[in-house]
Amino acid sequence: MRGTGDAAEAENDLRRRWVVSISAFDALIAADQKIENKDWMPDGYRESLIRQIAQHAHSEIMGMQPEAAWISRAPSLARKAVLIAKVQDEAGHGLYLYAVAETLGARREDLLDALHEGRQKYLSFINYPTLTWADVGALAWLTDGAAVVNQVSLCRTSYGPYGRALVRICREESFHHRQGFDLLHTLSRGTPAQRRSLQEAVDRWWQPALAMFGPPDSRSTHSASSMAWRIKRAGNDELRQRFVDLCVPQAEALGVRLPDPALRWNPERGHHDFTPPDYDELMRVVAGHGPRNRQRLAHRRRAHEEGAWVREAAAVHAAKQAAKQAAGQAGRQAAEWEAGRAAAPDDARAAARETGGPGEGWPLWEVFVRPRRGLGHAHAGSLQAPDAAVALHSARDLYTRREEGVSLWVVPSRSVTSSDPEQKEAYFAPAADKQYRHASSFPPPEGVEGL
Amino acid sequence: MTGLPEYLLGLGDDALVAAQRTAEWCAKAPQLEEEVALANLALDQLGQARAFLTYAGELEGEGRDEDALAFLRDEHEFRNVQLVELPNGDFAVTVAKTLFLAAYQNLLYTRLARAAEPRLAGIAAKAAKESAFHVSYASLWTVRLGDGTPLSHRRMRDAVEEVWPYTHELFEPWAPPEAGLDPAALRGPWLEVVGRALGEATLTRPQDGWAATGGRSGRHTEWFGLLLADMQSVHRAHVGARW
């Protein structure tokens, strides 16, 4: 009987602690505070975030394809440079977002597997073809425009790391949107053939762009809980309306007709009325039955599979270096590997597991950037790398490509020791009642200066 | 004797075709971090190409801008070395091409930065910084692939051997007086830079044998026409259009 009593007591204790935790979490959400990665959070919150962030990351890297296809043919060198930079940003955005998912305990490798196996989705517009150069512009103007509307709202998400990544992404994304409009604007003042291709491309991309906001809130399976947890800050319908209202005057400036006969200003609502996208088509395309789903996914899988030997080589090299260092017998070890190159020694394999190792993905590194002389290094984000040298190179490309820094630190993520959020009170509350540490507690008498 | 405008075309074409090939990796790289790195390489090369071609067009004085030179010249009018036209192959071939080209460009640009001709020196000084990073990047990957797994070692070795015959062209006597240098003199320091990476990668320097030649006078590989056809297709389909 005693045992049962203990078990019941333990269960009660667990329940009490859960109630305390969820109350603290709910209070943070209600106060519009951010949740950080080590904070306690309900499983549903964590799962919703991982699902949404993964889908966002997948969309960034899958979205490279329809545009990358036009880099080689870009009709001017200036446009070629812009397009490479844009597609590069998308890889970077995917990377920032996978790193955010990793703060929640997901691994980039598992998320990529889920993408490759069709278990996780990406935005449906990517499954449409880019038929002409004008499509490159229309895709950027409309789908990046929609993405900006969506992401600006998401910058206020309750999950801190996601919000910070989004601020960076939005800053970069507004360039995507602008350059797309600029490309189209040039076409709009061009030859009859250019103007015709412009209109045709806008006709093709209007519906897919509208569909990017997802199903109406009434049919969205995740909207309600995501809104309650403030993962999302605005509903699908509201954002779609905002997007349409923004596009109408821009379309006029381009001299293009948005392909919707029902599109007109409604003075009573103070918004444009428009025909909602075909949600059945959206669902079909999301389910894998769009014009380019198969090719896009196959392309992505092929790139991943063909890169496996490179990732493995770098991991094995890092392991050898680590083992060399550990053994402190660099010369002899190197000679051994030289002689029997068929297999790395066991300690190299052990080190490979330690550093990530073949098939495990590269380990994660935290990146710190000194923005300019005189300032300290501040955390910029993270990345995967097999070793410190590669990490530094990647950090330079990823976090300073817009003149954001003059010095870099990279630190293995597993080397960071963090204070425990459970101990937050014990650590940080006692400072609160010691106001005597602040000069402001000692107002000088009137007329006394220099204190 | 090579004139300065033609020389600038050669430098510009090397960079342009290298950029075109490197950018083919977009959305195909072995790892997301490498997507970003390879795109940076391509953007640096493209930037150099634009600077050199623009200057070449101005010196020529026939009203050709960077786009006219990039999109409206035919195969035999391009002055790039054949090295940069070679197909990308696997990642090891791309790394080998990048290492060999960047090591040469870095040495060349560093010297051209001291040229008496100020505009040439200015473009070269900026490009030298970029190519220094490219050498570092390509060396790093040469070492990791060469001294990685048995498979990656074999692929890196094969890549070095495949590309090596195309490196001799870089040092052919082809420079105007304004450049103030003898390309052949770059080969010694180039072998040192490349040799260091190969050594650390547990690879040996291939024997010199058959050497590709002809790019500087407009004779190219069978792959080059396809590259140009693709690159120039949209521009040429709309004669006189602005983009």
What ipTM goes with this model?
0.98
pTM of the model: 0.93
Query: Do A251 and A185 meet the contact criterion of CB atoms below 8 Å apart?
Result: no
Residue A130: CB atoms within 10 A of its CB come to 20
Interface of B with A in 186-225 (CB under 8 A): 202
Task: Please classify residue B233 by burial: count the beta carbons closer than 10 Å to its beta carbon, then call 0-12 exposed, 13-18 middle and 19+ buried.
Answer: middle
List of chain A residues whose C-beta atoms are within 8 Å of the C-beta of residue B46: 77, 80-81, 84
For residue B200, pLDDT over 80 is answered with: yes
A330 in contact with chain B, both atoms CB, cutoff 8 A: no
Contacts of A17 (CB under 8 A, 6+ apart): none
User: Going residue by residue through chain A (451 aa), what tens digit of pLDDT does each one get?
Assistant: 555 678 888 889 989 988 988 999 999 999 999 999 989 999 999 999 999 999 999 999 999 999 999 999 999 999 999 999 999 999 999 999 999 999 999 999 999 999 999 999 999 999 999 999 999 999 999 999 999 999 998 999 999 999 999 999 998 888 999 999 999 999 999 999 999 999 999 999 999 999 999 999 888 777 788 888 998 888 999 999 999 999 999 999 999 999 999 999 999 999 999 999 999 999 999 999 999 999 999 999 999 999 999 999 999 999 999 999 888 755 555 565 555 544 444 444 444 444 444 456 899 999 999 999 999 999 999 999 999 999 999 999 999 998 889 999 999 999 999 998 888 888 988 888 888 998 888 999 999 988 8
Q: How far is CA A165 from CA A103, A172, A254, A306, A421, in A?
A: 12, 11, 32, 29, 22
Taking contacts as CB-CB distances below 8 angstroms, the residues of chain B near A133 are 234
- The answer to whether A97 and A57 are in contact (CB under 8 A) is yes
A135 three-class SS: helix
What are the pLDDT digits (tens) for B15-48? 999 999 999 999 999 999 999 999 999 999 999 9
Give Cα separations from A48 to A86, A104, A212, B105, B231 (angstroms). Answer: 29, 11, 18, 50, 44
Q: How many helices (H) and strands (E) does chain A have?
A: 18, 5
From first CA to last CA, the distance across chain A in angstroms is: 70
Q: What angle do CA A335, B151, A301 make, to 5 degrees?
A: 145
Residue-wise over A243-260: b if at least 16 C-beta within 10 A, else e? bbeebeebbeebebebeb
**Chain B interface includes A192 (CB < 8 A):** no
Tokens at B162, concatenated: 């495949």
Structure tokens at A318: 């890092």
Query: How crowded is residue B173: how many other Cβ atoms within 10 Å of its Cβ?
Result: 9
Nearest chain A alpha carbon to B135: A393
Among candidate residues A404, A410, A414, A354, the one with its CA nearest the CA of residue A383: A410
Residue A143 DSSP label = I
Determine the Cα angle at B66 with ends B60 and B70, to 5°: 105
Asked if B148 is an interface residue toward chain A (Cβ–Cβ < 8 A), one would say yes
Question: Which residues of A, range 289-318, sit inside 8 Å of B by Cβ?
Answer: 299, 303, 306-314, 316-318
Q: How far is C-alpha B225 from the chain's CA centre?
A: 17
Q: Residue holding tokens 């190159």?
A: A341
Q: Are B26 and A88 within 8 A, CB to CB?
A: yes
Give the whole-angstrom CA distance, residue A397 versus residue A373.
19
CA A352 – CA A198 distance, rounded (Å): 52
Pair of tokens at residue A348: 């190299």
Contact B30 A308 (CB under 8 A): yes
Strands A407-412 and A378-384: unpaired
Tell me the chain B residues in contact with residue A186 when contact means C-beta distances shorter than 8 Å.
Answer: 242-243
Contact A68 B140 (CB under 8 A): no
Q: What is the DSSP string of A397-423?
A: HHHSTTS--SEEEEEEGGG-----GGG
Residue A383, strand partner residues? A365
Domains of chain B: 3-237 (1.20.1260.10)
Residue A140 DSSP code: I
Please state, in angstroms and rounded to a whole number, the distance separating the CA atoms of residues A79 and A75.
7
Question: Phi and psi for A76 in degrees, rounded to 5?
Answer: -145, 160
